[in-house]
Structure 1
Amino acid sequence: MRINGRKRYLLTDLLGLLLAVLVTLASTTDRDAARILLPTARGRFGRLARVWVDGGYTGHLSDQSAAQLQVVADIVRSGGYDTRGFQFLPRRWVVERSFGHLMRTRRLVRDFESRTTSAEAMIYWSMALLMTRRLARSHPARG
C-alpha cells in the first residue's frame, strides 16, 4: 500500500505531555483537523479552557471553539517575513519540543504504518516511554 503523506496533530499540556493526538491524510487542513480534535479533547478533559494554536488555524476556529466548546483559542502569530534568524514564539515551543521527542523514536521518523489508528497508537506509545523515563529519573535529595 502506498502512503502519500500524513499530518500529525498534537494537543499537549503546558509541560509538553500528550493529551490527544490525531493523524490524518496530508490533504486535511489544520482547521478541519482542529474541528475533530478539540471536541474530542474537550469531552475527555472537562477543565480544558484555553489552547494556543499557530497561524494555520486562523479563520472561524476561534469563534467556533468559543461558542460551541467554551474553549478560548489564542493564535500565536509569527513576526512576519522580515524577521531573520531564530524566532521564539510563546507557547508554540511546547508542541515543537513534543514533536522532537517523537522523532527520537525511530519508528516514527518514517511513516511505516498503513492505518492512521496504528500511527496514533505509536505516538501514544512513544509518549508513554518519554513519561516513564521522566518518572524513573533519579532526583537529588531536597534539603
Structure 2
Amino acid sequence: MRLNTFTNLLIMSVLSLGLAEVAQADMKWVETINQYCPTLCQKTDYKFAVPGGINPKATKARGSESVYYVCATNIAFAGWRIGYNIDYNEQRCYTGFRGGETWGEHYLCLCTDKEMPPLPADGTGYIKRR
C-alpha cells in the first residue's frame, strides 16, 4: 500500500510539472454585449483574452493571424456553452447548437492576467503527438 501511495504521489508530481506555468495564471469570466474579447479584457485587471487557436484559412487569405478567443454564451437559455470570439466577427460568441453553429451577442469572455500564445494552426496544440 505504501508503494502504491508513493507511486501515485510521484506520478502526480511529475504530471503537475508541465502545468506549473499555466496553473499560475489567474482567470475570470467577464460579461459583455457585442465586444471583442481582447478589447474587453484590456479594460479589466486581467488584461489578456485567453486564446484558443488560429484560423488557418483566414491567415492564408489575409496574410495575418486571426486568433480564436475563448468565450461562452447561453443560446436559447439552454445553458452556457463554450465558443469562440474572432477579430472579423468580433461582436459575437460563436458556439455549436442543435447540430449547427450559431452565435450570441450577450456572452462571457475568458480573461487572464498572463499573456498566453494561441494554439498552433498546424493542429499540434500544446500536447506532443506521436
Higher helix share: 1
More strand by share: 2
The structure with the larger Rg is: 2
Instruction: Report the TM-score when normalising by structure 2.
Output: 0.24
Of structures 1 and 2, the one scoring higher in RCO (CA 8 A, sep 6+) is 2
TM-score, structure 1 length as denominator? 0.23
